[in-house]
């Protein structure tokens, strides 16, 4: 690989010297439609060769794929375009055979050009087609490496309305209907003029932001397309929104690069009222529209969304007879071992049987799962390993990976799972011991085990903290600061006054995570039932129910938010296959008992400031196994469970959020005011890591600003395994009654510029965990907060925890720690507890408060 890197560097230098800046006639005249738009790919060679590089207009950056034949790169143009030319500027690793494809929805593709015998360099291809998405689909590589493109340029035209997709009515449902607006420029430009069918009349607003215009369709309609015909005074940034009552609005489409003229937008949603909500004008005048047309019907281009199907390009299904099985594990691990902020996502699914001599090393964004109904149906005589060789024996950044639903007989008697946050070990039977520390016993900062049986001893060694739930262990050797157990057979007794252990005999309420399995040759998802006062594993006779795969929309790379929402509206569940999914509208989960399950750390990125996901105040929604990565435009709330004011009783069938992780920054600039807001009652938050990045790209006090991690407004919410770190204000803010938390791990933001930046109400520092003054009943066990104020080590934070002093408020086993003396805590809870001091990283503890 070093020789390969040298060759790439020399090729890049040669390209800069010999390639003209504009390699095609079209490029000389026009900016590519693709430039700066959202690009995705089947794989990336590494974090420096991501898909976005191929559409950035810079011939010194490139995308390159994994070294296999079937790879693709695609770009979302943002709206339907007529495509006339595609220019591919290949690096030395080029495609000899490939196709250019277009798609309206990112799912169904049409070939518009096939190339065979390509010779690299710059390919200028004249094509004819329409689509919002354009893809280079590789068939055969010309070299031993992957596919590599300096630039992927798409030329053509947008503007003008196109025929609505199949199932979407061509008639304008808004014409002649009642229209209103936030303002009008004068009496000659009323709101009604935008809905009169006359392109010689127009609405225009006052010359200020924001402004809106809306139409009442008369009854609730299924919305599939909106056509906007802007006058010269256009909206640069605006949202197309729908409402049932004209009061509460759902954003169907966010646009940040609007232009004058006519453009059509495919949408998916329901509403009686449709609104264009302008937030940034394109000129110094107001907003002005000649016409707005609203189309209704099923839309989607090809009728209803179909459930089931294959599991996409990034799921690797194996059985004991699979040839070169070890090489398959090794190939993915080589790509993902240090690929902390890359776009590669992989899921290994192991069919039932016995696998001998396997060492499955698990890197970033890689999951390994058995396809049996029970863990012992898939047995590995070998190892499932996480170590920290890539980071010099330091395991504190071994994030985002998982193992689930299989059994292991370790080759040397002890398996190694040396992980940090967001790396669950679920439903595993280890027929031996389990080592949670890296080779050499370097630093480690995990971790989570649930529904697992470890026959031998678990050795945390250098692990700072760990939470284990509803499991059994043959023994537990030690711990550093905070080892918390609930419902664990064989767990050590509580000794927090002198040691690290907090142990609860049972877990009050729990439900295990849904998982994919094989019933014969048919894929199904098993949904475990709720357990009360659980202790020990749920298997082999796990209570619950199975859902066939054809009741899931299998979401694959390139899928759109509109299609996802259409699938949900049809009553389908969601199975996100491994990939990175950019959303231009919020995913709305409105049906009770919906399952949203991710494989291989599937990642959702909200674009243009939309929220990533909203869940209605309904029973039994299951969210599991995915990562939400904040976009570069601020989202108000990345995940909202229940609208504000939710009050329904869900105690019999709670919504669960399991292995759902949030990241703001790290992979690039990210912004979100709130990460997760829980408004519904009775929700179970089971293992989450909400992380405002302290390293990576796009990191800074304001660059990746995120004020709040978890905000709980609902009553009777339970959190088991809560990891929340580095937020600008409160990491956890709990406003609901009768909340409970079992295990909490926190680091305060490293990059606080000074004490003044976090001083409020006469208090220095926002508590890591705050219970609102209005709350009367709250209880929590095993809580830790650490400070590491690298920007200003002189900061003394008032306390780690802030709660009202009432008889119903109870905290058990709480600690604060200064990491190496970079900042200190004055107290543990409120004004109680000794201050931290010095550089020895010694915790200050309280066993009970008040």
Over the chain (850 residues), the average pLDDT of each successive run of 10 is 31 32 36 84 91 89 92 86 88 93 81 88 85 91 94 78 64 90 95 89 94 91 90 92 86 86 85 93 93 77 76 95 96 96 97 97 98 98 97 96 98 98 98 97 95 98 97 96 98 97 98 97 97 98 96 93 91 96 94 97 96 96 98 97 95 98 96 98 98 96 97 98 98 98 98 97 97 98 98 97 98 97 97 95 96
Ramachandran angles phi, psi of 279, nearest 5°: -115, -25
- Return the closest-CA partner of residue 284 out of 216, 361, 200, 205: 205
Task: Check whether residue 205 and residue 340 sit in a common domain.
Answer: no
Task: Check whether residue 435 and residue 398 sit in a common domain.
Answer: yes
Picking from 437, 462, 493, the residue at the C-terminal end of a domain is 493
Task: Check whether residue 9 and residue 141 sit in a common domain.
Answer: yes
- Inter-residue contact 833 to 846 (CB < 8 Å): yes
- Inter-residue contact 205 to 211 (CB < 8 Å): yes
Cα angle, residue 195 at apex, residues 609 and 221 outer, rounded to 5°: 65
Instruction: Look at residue 556 in the predicted model and tell me its pLDDT.
Output: 94
pTM over 0.95: no
417 found inside a domain: yes
Task: Check whether residue 262 and residue 347 sit in a common domain.
Answer: no
Looking up residue 463, the CATH number of its domain turns out to be 2.160.20.10
Picking from 243, 267, 296, the residue at the C-terminal end of a domain is 296
C-alpha–C-alpha distance, residues 28 and 395, integer Å? 50
Task: Check whether residue 139 and residue 233 sit in a common domain.
Answer: no
Say if strands 763-764 and 759-760 run parallel, antiparallel, or are unpaired: antiparallel
558 found inside a domain: no
Residue 760, both tokens:
């409020």
Residue 37's domain comprises 2-155
Task: Check whether residue 150 and residue 250 sit in a common domain.
Answer: no
Picking from 462, 493, 524, the residue at the C-terminal end of a domain is 493
C-alpha–C-alpha distance, residues 185 and 207, integer Å? 8
Residue 532, both tokens:
């009360």
Q: Does the N-terminal peptide bond of residue 210 adopt cis geometry, omega within 30 degrees of 0?
A: yes
Q: Catalytic residue numbers? A: 747
- Inter-residue contact 271 to 210 (CB < 8 Å): no
226 found inside a domain: yes
Secondary structure (3-state) at 720: strand
Task: Check whether residue 361 and residue 423 sit in a common domain.
Answer: yes
N-to-C CA span, the chain: 59
Beta bridge partners of 593: none
342 found inside a domain: yes
- Inter-residue contact 604 to 672 (CB < 8 Å): no
756 found inside a domain: no
| Burial of 1 per CB tally in 10 Å (0-12, 13-18, 19+) | exposed
Alpha carbon separation from 368 to 358, 401, 430, 447, 599 (Å, rounded): 13, 9, 15, 17, 9
C-alpha–C-alpha distance, residues 543 and 637, integer Å? 34
384 found inside a domain: yes
C-alpha–C-alpha distance, residues 499 and 814, integer Å? 12
C-alpha–C-alpha distance, residues 313 and 311, integer Å? 7
Task: Check whether residue 129 and residue 210 sit in a common domain.
Answer: no
Cα angle, residue 545 at apex, residues 586 and 563 outer, rounded to 5°: 25
Instruction: Look at residue 22 in the predicted model and tell me its pLDDT.
Output: 32
Task: Check whether residue 57 and residue 206 sit in a common domain.
Answer: no
651 found inside a domain: no
- Return the closest-CA partner of residue 164 out of 342, 258, 295: 295
| Burial of 429 per CB tally in 10 Å (0-12, 13-18, 19+) | buried
Residues 6+ apart with CB under 8 A from 239: 251, 252, 253, 254, 255, 276, 277, 279
Instruction: Look at residue 189 in the predicted model and tell me its pLDDT.
Output: 95
C-alpha–C-alpha distance, residues 130 and 157, integer Å? 10
750 found inside a domain: no
Instruction: Look at residue 47 in the predicted model and tell me its pLDDT.
Output: 87
Task: Check whether residue 244 and residue 338 sit in a common domain.
Answer: no
Beta bridge partners of 532: 509
Looking up residue 79, the CATH number of its domain turns out to be 2.60.120.260
Instruction: Look at residue 298 in the predicted model and tell me its pLDDT.
Output: 56
C-alpha–C-alpha distance, residues 198 and 214, integer Å? 17
Task: Say how many domains are in the chain.
Answer: 3
Task: Check whether residue 374 and residue 468 sit in a common domain.
Answer: yes
Task: Check whether residue 466 and residue 333 sit in a common domain.
Answer: yes
Instruction: Look at residue 246 in the predicted model and tell me its pLDDT.
Output: 87
Sign of CA dihedral 511, 513, 518, 522: positive
């Amino acid at each position: 690989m070093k020789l390969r890197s040298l060759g790439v560097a020399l090729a890049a230098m040669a390209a800069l010297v010999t390639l003209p800046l504009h390699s095609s006639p079209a490029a000389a005249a026009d900016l590519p439609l693709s430039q700066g738009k959202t690009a995705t790919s089947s794989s990336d060679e590494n974090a420096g060769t991501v898909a976005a590089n191929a559409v950035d207009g810079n011939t010194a950056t490139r995308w390159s794929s994994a070294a296999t034949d079937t790879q693709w790169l695609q770009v979302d143009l943002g709206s339907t375009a007529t495509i006339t030319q595609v220019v591919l500027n290949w690096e030395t690793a080029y495609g000899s055979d490939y196709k250019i494809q277009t798609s309206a929805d990112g799912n169904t593709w049409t070939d518009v050009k096939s190339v065979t015998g390509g010779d690299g360099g710059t390919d200028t291809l004249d094509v004819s087609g329409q689509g919002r998405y354009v893809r280079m689909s590789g068939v055969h590589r010309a070299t031993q490496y992957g596919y590599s493109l300096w630039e992927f340029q798409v030329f053509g035209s947008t503007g003008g309305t196109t025929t609505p997709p199949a199932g979407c009515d061509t008639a304008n449902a808004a014409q002649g209907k009642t229209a209103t607006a936030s303002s009008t420029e004068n009496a000659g430009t009323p709101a009604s003029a935008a809905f009169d069918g006359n392109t010689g009349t127009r609405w225009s607003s006052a010359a200020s932001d924001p402004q809106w215009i809306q139409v009442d369709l008369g009854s609730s309609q299924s919305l599939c397309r909106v056509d906007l015909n802007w006058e010269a005074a256009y909206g640069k940034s605006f949202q197309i929104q729908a409402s049932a009552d004209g009061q509460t609005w759902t954003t169907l489409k966010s646009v940040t690069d609007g232009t004058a003229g006519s453009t059509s937008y495919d949408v998916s949603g329901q509403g009686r009222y449709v609104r264009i909500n302008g937030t940034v004008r394109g000129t110094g005048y107001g907003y002005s529209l000649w016409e707005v047309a609203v189309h209704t019907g099923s839309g989607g281009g090809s009728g209803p969304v179909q459930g089931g199907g294959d599991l996409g390009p990034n799921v690797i299904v194996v059985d004991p007879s699979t040839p070169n099985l070890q090489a398959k594990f090794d190939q993915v691990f080589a790509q993902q071992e240090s690929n902390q902020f890359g776009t590669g996502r992989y899921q290994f699914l192991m069919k039932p049987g016995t696998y001998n001599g396997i060492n499955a090393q698990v890197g970033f964004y890689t999951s390994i799962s058995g396809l049996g109904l029970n863990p012992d149906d898939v047995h590995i005589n070998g190892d499932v390993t996480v170590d920290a060789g890539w980071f010099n024996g330091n395991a504190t950044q071994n994030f985002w990976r998982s193992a689930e639903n299989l059994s292991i007989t370790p080759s040397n008697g002890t398996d190694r799972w040396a992980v940090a946050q967001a790396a669950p070990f679920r439903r595993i039977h280890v027929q031996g011991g389990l080592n949670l520390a890296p080779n050499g016993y370097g630093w480690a900062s995990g971790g989570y085990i649930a529904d697992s049986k470890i026959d031998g001893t678990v050795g945390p060694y250098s692990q700072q903290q760990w939470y284990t739930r509803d499991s059994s262990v043959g023994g537990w050797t030690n711990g550093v600061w905070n080892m918390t157990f609930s419902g664990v057979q064989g767990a050590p007794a509580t000794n927090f006054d002198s040691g690290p252990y907090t142990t609860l005999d049972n877990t009050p309420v729990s439900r295990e995570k849904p998982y994919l399995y094989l019933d014969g040759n048919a894929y199904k998802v098993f949904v475990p039932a709720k357990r009360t006062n659980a202790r020990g594993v749920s298997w082999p006779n796990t209570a619950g129910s199975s859902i066939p795969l054809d009741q899931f929309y299998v979401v694959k790379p390139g899928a759109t938010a509109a299609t996802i929402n259409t699938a949900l509206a049809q009553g389908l569940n969601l199975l996100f296959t491994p990939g990175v999914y950019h959303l231009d509208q919020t995913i709305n989960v409105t049906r009770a008992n919906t399952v949203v399950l991710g494989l291989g750390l599937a990642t959702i990125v909200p674009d243009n400031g939309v929220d990533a996901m909203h869940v209605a105040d309904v029973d039994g929604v299951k969210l599991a196994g995915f990562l939400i990565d904040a976009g570069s435009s601020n989202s108000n709330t990345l995940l909202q469970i229940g609208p504000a004011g939710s009050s329904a009783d869900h105690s019999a069938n709670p919504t669960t959020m399991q292995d759902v992780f949030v990241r703001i920054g790290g992979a690039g600039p990210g912004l979100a005011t709130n990460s997760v807001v829980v408004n519904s009652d009775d929700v179970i938050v089971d293992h989450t890591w909400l992380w405002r990045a302290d390293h990576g790209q796009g990191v800074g006090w304001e660059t990746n600003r995120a004020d709040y991690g978890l905000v709980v407004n609902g009553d009777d919410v339970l959190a088991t395994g809560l990891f929340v770190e580095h937020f600008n204000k409160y990491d956890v803010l709990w406003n609901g009654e009768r909340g409970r938390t079992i295990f909490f791990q926190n680091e305060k933001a490293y990059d606080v510029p000074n004490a003044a930046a976090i001083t409020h109400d006469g208090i220095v520092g926002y508590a890591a965990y705050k219970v609102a003054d209005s709350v009367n009943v709250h209880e929590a066990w095993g809580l830790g907060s650490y400070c590491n104020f690298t920007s200003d080590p002189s900061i003394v934070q008032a306390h780690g925890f802030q709660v009202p002093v009432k008889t119903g408020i109870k905290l058990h086993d709480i600690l604060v720690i200064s990491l190496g003396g970079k900042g200190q805590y004055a107290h543990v809870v409120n004004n109680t507890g000794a201050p931290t001091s010095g550089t020895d990283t010694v915790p200050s503890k309280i066993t009970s408060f008040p």
